[in-house]
Amino acid sequence: MSITRGLKNTLRNPVRSIAVVVILALSIGLVLTMLLARQAIMAKISSVKTNISSAITVSPAGIRGGEGGGEPLTADQIKTIKTTANVDSVALSLTDRLNSTDTNLQAAISAGSFGNRQNRSSTRPGGGSFTPPVTVTGTDSPTSLQSLGSSNTKITSGQTFDANSSANDAIVGINLASKNNLQVGSTFVAYNNTIAVIGIYDSGDNFGNSAVIMPLATLQDLTNQPGAVTSAIVRVNSVENIQTVTAALKASLGSSADVVSQLDSVDQIIAPLQNIQTLTLYSLIGSAVASVVILFFTILMLVRERRREIGVLKAIGASNSKIVVQFMSEALALVIIGAVIAVLLASFSATPITKMLAQNSQDTTAQTPVSPQTPGQGLAGGRFNRVARQSVSNIRDITATVNWKIWLYALLTTLIVAVVAGAIPAFIIAKIRPSEVMRSE
């Protein structure tokens, strides 16, 4: 009976009830929106840490991309890396450049003014220009092409090769394939050998799509560099062990190799995201408190207006608990209606608000250096820079998804707000004596 009376009371003053519902919907909606934004940001932080911070790059000292000098990593050095404590896996690669004397492939990238300037010694007299070489990378991790370039690298046709393959097979970037009319099943010449195209890949950028990827053993054999490696991407079993493994590798490899961890750079990159995470937490708490305060004063106003009604109910035998239940039912009805509207609002507003917050983070992160000391090895070179930048630049695509957990949070928020804000004023007013109410009236 008390519950029925409470539900009916929500319609006693429709204008006021609608106003209260709208205000509650906005405040609860903001709570849910901040929950959704917080979840999306936490997922992005986790993604960045997973993709970058658990890896270390090891390269020969003095080698940076296709420039510099020095000696490739040896088989003994690779064995040392693989047997280091807490090392989970090691992806090895060897990079070389195919000039016109090495291959019949035509480069898919034109030199332009920048390329010609960087290779002034190669500019021919009489108006000739520098012809860019074709980058070729051998890898023993063909199923994880992300380790060679963009985090979006994928096979678009054909297939990749086996990790232990030594066959004269290759996968080529879509730009290089288009430039040379190559498709799966085609062949080209490299190092005086016929190479079969078994796959075409797309890395998402022009440089990566203008290269060739082969089995590591194949490239080592074709270039007469048995066991040579110009990049080792070391995966550590836990982020907590990054510094320990980095120190161990530096000590064991000495000055013959550059060992670089991206842990510090990752901390710099995710700092703005963590700031947003904190902001959403404060906004969430503030919105929840606002919801409680709004409903508290609404119920307080209602019970004060109905002092005479409460006195009459108590005079005819209504207990304090029944009166509290009546007003809690009214409060719960208002909050439930507001919560349903809030879920709908959050469903449409969460992603735009999250993107707006993330955009500020992206603008800040765009100025953050990833690690100027990170050595590059052809396609593998700059892998960390690319993944780090893409992990943050892709934040524009971040989506806040409404799932069953959000509905559960909405239900819990509704119950907490209704109980806290509805029960207290109703309990206070229910304790008055009927005689006091009648005398004051």
**Beta bridge mates, 208:** none
Nearest Cα to 140, choosing from 209, 80, 220, 237?
Answer: 220
* Cα separation, 346 vs 183, whole angstroms: 48
The pTM of this model reads: 0.56
Question: 78 with 229: CB under 8 angstroms?
Answer: yes
**Beta bridge mates, 257:** 60
Nearest Cα to 73, choosing from 416, 424, 377?
Answer: 377
* Cα separation, 372 vs 384, whole angstroms: 11
Q: Which pLDDT score, from 0 to 100, does residue 157 have?
A: 92
| Strand (E) or helix (H) holding 259 | strand 257-261
* Cα separation, 289 vs 300, whole angstroms: 16
The structure tokens 């229910």 sit at 430
Q: Which pLDDT score, from 0 to 100, does residue 191 have?
A: 94
- Integer-rounded Cα radius of gyration of the chain: 33
- DSSP E strands in 168-230: the ranges are 169-173, 187-190, 193-202, 212-215
pLDDT by residue, tens only, the chain of 441 residues: 566 765 666 666 777 778 878 887 887 788 888 888 888 878 777 776 666 656 788 888 887 655 667 788 888 899 999 999 999 888 898 988 888 889 999 888 877 776 666 666 544 454 456 678 888 999 988 876 655 555 567 888 999 899 889 999 999 999 999 999 999 999 999 999 999 999 999 887 788 888 999 999 999 999 999 888 888 888 888 777 888 999 999 999 998 888 888 665 666 667 777 777 788 888 878 877 877 787 777 777 777 777 777 777 777 777 777 777 777 777 778 778 888 888 888 878 777 777 777 666 555 544 444 443 343 344 444 444 544 455 455 555 566 666 677 677 667 767 776 677 666 776 676 666 665 555 555
Q: Where are the domains of the chain?
A: 2-50+269-440, 74-229
Q: Which pLDDT score, from 0 to 100, does residue 28 have?
A: 79
Determine how β-strand 55-60 pairs with β-strand 231-236.
antiparallel
Q: Which pLDDT score, from 0 to 100, does residue 174 have?
A: 93
Q: Which pLDDT score, from 0 to 100, does residue 272 have?
A: 73
SS3 282: helix
Residue 211 dihedral angles phi and psi, to the nearest 5°: -125, 175
Q: Read off the tokens for 16.
A: 């006021």
3-state secondary structure 25-42: HHHHHHHHHHHHHHHHHH
**Beta bridge mates, 193:** 190
* Cα separation, 139 vs 144, whole angstroms: 10
The structure tokens 């969430």 sit at 284
